Amino acid sequence: MNRVLDELLWRGLVADSTDREALSAHLDAGPVTSYVGFDPTAPSLHIGHLVQLMVVRALHAGGHHPLLLVGGSTGLIGDPKQAGERVMNGKEVVAGWVERLREQMSRFVELDGPNPVRFVNNYDWTAELSTLDFLRDVGKHFSINRMLDRDVVARRLDSGISYTEFSYVLLQSLDYHELYKRHGCTLQTGAQDQWGNITAGIDYIRRTERAGVHGLVTPLLTKADGTKYGKTESGTIWLDAELTSPYAFHQYFLNAEDAKVVEYLKVFSPRSREEIEDLARQTAEEAWQRAAQRALADDITDLVHGEAERKAAEAAAAALFGRSELAELPEGTLAQVAGEVGGGELAAGAELPLVVDALLAAGVVDSKGAARRAIAEGGAYLNNQKVSDAEARLQDSDLLHGRYAVVRRGKKTVGMVRVRR
């Protein structure tokens, strides 16, 4: 078995591929040019995209030549979704997202040196392609019957699917064909839901070039209940710090389920097999220590946001729950936390607000009466200090960076308020 392919298999990054033995031999035969595509349908990459970048990193480390395709043209169309028709974004919006995604991806790959990862944009070969040429040179090689058999298309037939989305597979197949001709690309990788598009491109190259090329897809990451991993009640886990803060990002992976955490470690962590197997043992024997979760959260946050942001996120979590000093947190970190733990704003009049009002505004209690009961029972905290007086007011010395206060009910229910003067 080829070394890179063996590593991808062990890390659970292969759901399906073209002939396994042939692919292994192809990778052994010499440096292979591969590609994976990213459509700019949002201003940031998310966790699902990071899975694909981990495959790219593994191929590149093995001496191969990955291409990262940013879909300036396919991003204007959108791959069909099972949920329904996509909203088409404007050309200027998509062009801006192309550049944002290129900038994001450049942080995860090597763009310099003797074997740089290269970017390509399918707008370069589709922008000037006429409708007649597209129909004659591409469309004639595709069977409507086979297109209708694609899972996502079959599911959308009852609710309706536009010709635009129906034709997406032709554009992606054209991409593989163009990269084969221009760069000698012989391997396309992607997520499992791209398998139909990838095999269509393989078939198109076989028909037109009489050449055999390869495909490999990763499994979709799921939680133990089968739902998609990388989604929360508040939305997608993005790689952009402005959309998902480093604090929220780190916390998300700290909360990984015992049943799945080793699977996620294999995908996202650079740790060796021996290290990950030891963490698997610790999870089986001492799950309460959550060693694997800490390793996962640290490794992936270091990768996406850098070690400094990860340490700031850890410090914020420790300070929120009384394990270190809140006053030592930078204002930027407090602002991140405020956006994640929730809370409200209070206006200061001649005097600062009551602590009771702060507890209510922060959302840790649902009424002033509940706030007073929490104080009376010894379960209310202001900046990790127990509050004993129901008539106590915030003081200037309580306001972190002059405007933030952290309130807590019990051990785990935390919120923040911002005081407006």
115 CB contacts (<8 Å, ≥6 apart)? 31, 60, 63, 65
Burial 163-175 (b: 16+ CB within 10 A, else e): eebbbbbbbbbbb
Tell which residue, 363, 344, 355, has the closest CA to residue 383. 355
- Within its chain, how far is the Cα of 260 from the centroid? 17
Q: Is 412 annotated as a binding residue?
A: no
Count Cβ atoms within 10 A of the Cβ of residue 247 and give its class: 0-12 exposed, 13-18 middle, 19 or more buried. buried
For residues 247 and 234, give the distance between their C-alpha atoms in angstroms, rounded to a whole number. Answer: 15
The answer to whether the beta carbons of residues 338 and 418 sit under 8 Å apart is yes
118-121/65-70 β-pairing: parallel
Q: Which two tokens stand for residue 177?
A: 């064909």
307-320 and 331-341 are packed helices; what angle lies between their axes, rounded to 10 degrees?
60
The CA R_g of the chain, rounded to the nearest whole Å, is: 26
For residues 4 and 14, give the distance between their C-alpha atoms in angstroms, rounded to a whole number. Answer: 11
Could you tell me which residues are beta bridge partners of residue 413?
409
Burial 14-26 (b: 16+ CB within 10 A, else e): beebbeeeebbeb
For residues 34 and 271, give the distance between their C-alpha atoms in angstroms, rounded to a whole number. Answer: 24
Q: Is 168 annotated as a binding residue?
A: yes
Q: Is 231 annotated as a binding residue?
A: yes
Tell which residue, 315, 408, 317, has the closest CA to residue 359. 408
Which DSSP category does 393 fall into? B
Tell which residue, 387, 412, 413, 383, has the closest CA to residue 398. 383
Q: Is 172 annotated as a binding residue?
A: yes
Q: Which two tokens stand for residue 84?
A: 């329904």
Q: Output the known binding site.
A: 35, 168, 172, 231
Q: Output the known binding site for L-tyrosine.
A: 35, 168, 172
Q: Output the known binding site for ATP.
A: 231
